[in-house]
Chain A
Amino acid sequence: MTKGTGFMGKHTEAAMLAARLVGLIALFTGAAVLFGSPSVERTAVFGLIILVAVVGLYVFMGTSGVISFGHVSFMAIGAYATTILTMSPVQKEVQLEGLPTFLQNMEISVVIATLIGGVLAAIFGLILAAPLMRLSGLAAGLATFSVLIIVREVIRNSGEVTRGAQGISGVPTDIINMPGVALLCAAGAIIIASFYQSSSSGLRLRASREDEVASRAIGVRVMRERTIAFVISAFITGIAGGLYAQYLGTFGPDAFYLSLTFLVIAMLVIGGMMSLSGAVLGTLVVTILSEVLRKTEESGISLGGLIDTGALRGLRDIGIAIVTLVILMMRPDGLTNGFEFGSSTFSRLRRKLKRGGEGNEEATPAKTDADEAGTGSQSART
């Protein structure tokens, strides 16, 4: 039985996918809040914020198949914009002397400021799209990487406006730390992404991902579709930046540089670059892994007093790197292998649970050909 084609409007499917994914992350967030320590709760908030960024990256990179190493610069723009707009004029006088006067005296609510940050990032994306969307493959990767470096350098050297390498502070941090708020933002991002990818523009772009020449032959204007995806993606990622600024409280340009880029890309690729479920799953897996490793990183490993390694800096990143490598070798298309969590996923899971099989949701993203948004004719065996 194929659902998702035919009678049910494609947007109902999009809504249902969004609902399932939001439900999944709500489940984990709830568990973290109810059973976890405050630091676990904070990790959950971090995970949700990063999820917004990963979903943002997916909207472009996953749908178009074009790699973008520079998405974190959208986060930087969103972060700095949000901070500058919400800082009190007094703080601005102290930290940023070079601001134009109308910005100097402005102080907006953090919600509106974050949205404005997203819009600014989207505008930046629109400007970049004109030259960049023609590229693909390695050239695109390198060009977007150049953008990342350029943005970071400009921020670092515009000390009068951004406080450069010293770091800027003053953005309110109380709202974001409520897991409910973070969950709401993540849900919003998932909903936008889900509806975008099943929209006609999104579908055309995904066609170009599979076979660019064939899609052009049927009239897909690849550059146009890529630009649309890029701008939406920039908006979402810019908002993620604004949220991340609120999470950090104080930050400098290096907070939006290489290690964040690697983290976001790793999450997307581990989960599966080609599906929204992949973006969500990847973030979930890496966040949990990261939390486990962080504890070990701080306290080191001690076996009954025999071995005490002390703090192991960098262990977390090593762990993530190893996991990325292993998963990429075993499943180059990521954990979800390009498929979304369809309704058949859950009925299969229910059957497995009833039979007393593995009860772990993450371990069995089941795939059947009835899954909407399944790519091509692959049928993976679990």
Chain B
Amino acid sequence: MTQVIQSIIDATALGSIVALFALGIALVFGVMRVVNLAHGEIIMAAGYTLVITNDWPWVARIVAAILVGVLVAMALQVAVFRPMKGANAVTIMVGSLAAAALLQNSALLWQGPTPKGVSPLSSLGESTEIAGIHISNVALMSVVVTAVLLLALTALFKRTSLGLRIRAAAEDFEMARLMGIRGNAVGLAAFAIAGVLAAAGGILLVSQTGTVTPMAGLTPMLLGLIGTIVGGMGRLDGAVVGGFVLGAATVLLQVILPLDLRPYRDAILFTGVLLLILVRPEGLLRSAALTERV
């Protein structure tokens, strides 16, 4: 029984983290209509920031990692996405792929391919006991942090003028600009927020695994992207749902699968994704904004 609860907690924790990544990707997609395949590198950058600041007080480390995440995200917008605005979708995807390769290999060049250890932030490495069950602090924090960030984001979107501008730009970029909204500023803001989300998720993920490699951002980005599509592209709540479902499924599959099928877990997961894309390409929650206009 404790095993079951443990798995549910782990699934919830990973689901929350993936939901953060999915939300970041969906936000950028919503505003700029492009998929940022370099999103994972923001995560990786935040992870390496934690590596370098191993001896700092944990508050400073978190601030540093988030700052780096935001800077990398904004750099991506300015250096890659803004100059390529208007090009066809494939070109932009390949461009973001190139940016990702650039960042990955720069990290490789600088830090080398071996995994670097990250010392835990305050008490994140330990576990608490609630009602007789050991819950790792990271899992707890993942759920809490995600919930807090989601609430904050909702407040941002519904109550502030920046949020209003972002929503307007996401719905119809050209129209928003005609109404006086500065497109570049909004794009930058969207990327910055995505940077915060990616960095937060990255901090949680790295705290869970304990190490960082140059390729560390790839799988999270992939899961986030798939989560966005599974949940319904173009809808922020869809991204959260999709990301959560995907993260949870990853853990649950690991537990449910019989032993000899376990190595195939990823293959099975992606087959599921493939089937979902084929059966329902719009994702679980449909978005009116995304129906293609002829």
- B67: CB under 8 A from chain A? no
CA distance A321 to B225 in the complex (A): 22
A153 neighbours in B (Cβ, 8 Å): 263-264, 266-267, 270
CA distance A117 to B266 in the complex (A): 26
With A313-B108, A328-B94 as given contacts, are A149 and B266 in contact (CB-CB < 8 Å)?
yes
A138, B233: Cα distance in complex, Å: 10
A206 and B101 CA atoms in complex are apart in Å by 30
> Would B94 and A131 count as touching, CB distance under 8 A?
no
Q: Which of A146, A265, A318 contacts B94 (CB 8 A)?
A: A265
In the assembly, what is the distance between CA of A269 and CA of B106, in Å? Answer: 22
B229–A318 CB distance below 8 A: no
User: Which residues of chain B are near A156, meaning CB under 8 Å?
Assistant: 263
Q: Is A154 an interface residue (CB 8 A)?
A: yes
Cβ-defined contact, A265 with B294, below 8 A: no
Which residues from chain A contact B106 at a C-beta distance below 8 Å?
A: 314, 318
A333 touching B91 by the CB < 8 A rule? yes
Mark out the residues of chain B between 98 and 131 whose CB falls within 8 Å of any chain A CB in the assembled complex: 98-99, 101-102, 104-106, 108-109, 112-113
Task: In the complex, identify which listed stretch (B54-62, B168-176, B271-279) lies at the interface while the others stay far away.
Answer: B271-279
State in angstroms the CA–CA spacing of A141 and B108 once bound together: 26
Interface size of A in residues (CB-CB distance below 8 Å): 44
A313-B109, A318-B106, A321-B98 given; A154·B90 CB < 8 A: no
* Cβ-neighbour of A324 out of B94, B233, B274 (below 8 A): B94
Contact A314 B109, CB 8 Å, known A142-B226, A213-B294, A321-B101: yes
Tell me whether A304 is interfacial, beta carbon within 8 Å. Answer: no
| Most chain B CB within a 10 A radius of its CB, from A138, A143, A213 | A138
CB-based contact A328/B89 at 8 Å = no
Give B207-265 interface residues, CB cut-off 8 Å to A: 218, 222, 225-226, 229, 233, 263-264
- Chain A binding site: helix, strand, loop or mixed by DSSP? helix
Distance in angstroms from A153 CB to nearest chain B CB is 4
Cα–Cα, bound, A65→B93 (Å): 13
B97 interface hit (Cβ, 8 Å): yes
Which A residues are CB-close (under 8 A) to B225?
Answer: 142
From known contacts A138-B229, A213-B294, infer whether A146 and B98 are also in contact, taking CB-CB under 8 Å.
Answer: no
Tell me if B132 counts as interface (CB < 8 A to partner A): no
Which of B79-87, B141-149, B158-166, B180-188 lies on the face that meets chain A? B79-87
Which residues between 267 and 294 of chain B lie within 8 Å of chain A, taking CB atoms?
A: 267, 270-271, 273-274, 277-278, 281, 294
Contact assessment for B109 and A269 in the assembled complex, using a CB-CB cutoff below 8 Å: no
Q: Is B88 an interface residue (CB 8 A)?
A: yes
Q: Mark A121-161, 1 if CB is under 8 A from B, else 0.
A: 00000000001101101110111011101100110110000
Task: Give Cα distance in the complex from A381 to B207, angstroms.
Answer: 54
Which of B79, B88, B98 has a CB less than 8 Å from the CB of A266?
Answer: B98
> Which residues of the other chain, A, contact B113 by a CB distance below 8 angstroms?
313
The answer to whether the Cβ of A31 comes within 8 Å of any Cβ in the partner chain is: no
B273 surroundings in chain A (CB, below 8 A): 142, 146
Nearest chain A CB to B239 CB, angstrom units: 14
Compute how far the CA of A141 lies from the CA of B88 in the bound complex, rounded to whole angstroms.
14
Q: Bound complex: CA of A149 vs CA of B272, how far in Å?
A: 12
Q: B79: which A residues are within 8 A, CB to CB?
A: 325
Asked if residues B271 and A332 are in contact (CB atoms below 8 Å), the reply is no
Q: Are B278 and A332 in contact (CB under 8 A)?
A: no
Give the residues in chain A near B46, CB-CB below 8 Å.
none
| Cα–Cα distance between A322 and B101 once the two chains are bound (Å) | 9
Q: B13 contacts the other chain (Cβ, under 8 Å)?
A: no
A312, CB-defined interface residue at 8 Å: yes
The winner among B99, B266, B267, B294 for most chain A CB atoms within 10 A is B267
| Interface SS of chain B | helix
**Considering only CB atoms, which chain B residue lies closest to A67 in the complex?**
B90
CA distance A332 to B80 in the complex (A): 12
Find out whether the CB atom of B101 lies under 8 angstroms from the CB atom of A328.
Answer: no
Contact B277 A332 (CB under 8 A): no
The answer to whether A142 and B229 touch across the interface, beta carbons within 8 angstroms, is yes
The yes or no answer to A273 lying at the interface (CB within 8 A) is yes
Tell me the bound Cα distance from A135 to B233 in angstroms: 15
CB-CB under 8 A from A346, the residues of chain B are: none
B105 to chain A: closest residue by CB: A314
In contact, A157 and B264 (Cβ under 8 angstroms): yes
Give complex CA distance A332, B263 in Å: 41
A351 to B127, CA, bound (A): 77
A355 to B45, alpha carbons, bound, how many Å?
Answer: 52
A269 near B101 (CB under 8 angstroms)? no
Distance in Å: Cβ of A147 to nearest Cβ of chain B: 7
- Contact across chains for A265 and B266 when beta carbons are under 8 A apart: no
The reply to whether A325 and B95 contact each other, CB–CB distance below 8 Å, is: yes
Q: State whether the Cβ of B35 lies closer than 8 Å to any Cβ in chain A.
A: yes
With A142-B229, A266-B98, A317-B101 already in contact, the answer to whether A65 and B90 are too (CB < 8 A) is: yes
In the complex, residue of chain B having the shortest beta-carbon distance to the beta carbon of A317: B105
Question: Are the CB atoms of B271 and A266 closer together than 8 Å?
Answer: no
Q: Mark A211-254, 1 if CB is under 8 A from B, else 0.
A: 00100000000000000000000000000000000000000000
**Does the CB pair A149–B229 fall under 8 Å?**
no
Smallest CB separation, B20 vs chain A (Å): 20
Shortest Cβ gap from B37 to chain A (Å)? 9
Most B CB within 10 A of own CB, among A146, A157, A312: A146
Verify B105–A131 contact, CB threshold 8 A. Answer: no
List the interface of chain B (C-beta within 8 A of A). 35, 79-80, 83-84, 87-91, 93-95, 97-99, 101-102, 104-106, 108-109, 112-113, 218, 222, 225-226, 229, 233, 263-264, 266-267, 270-271, 273-274, 277-278, 281, 294
Given contacts A266-B94, A329-B84, 10 further A-B contacts (CB under 8 A): A142-B226, A150-B271, A153-B263, A258-B218, A318-B105, A318-B109, A324-B94, A325-B98, A328-B84, A328-B95
Closest 10 CB pairs of A and B: A314-B105, A332-B87, A153-B267, A321-B102, A324-B98, A314-B108, A321-B101, A146-B270, A317-B105, A157-B263
9 contacts between A and B (CB under 8 A): A142-B225, A143-B277, A157-B263, A258-B218, A265-B94, A317-B104, A321-B105, A325-B80, A325-B102
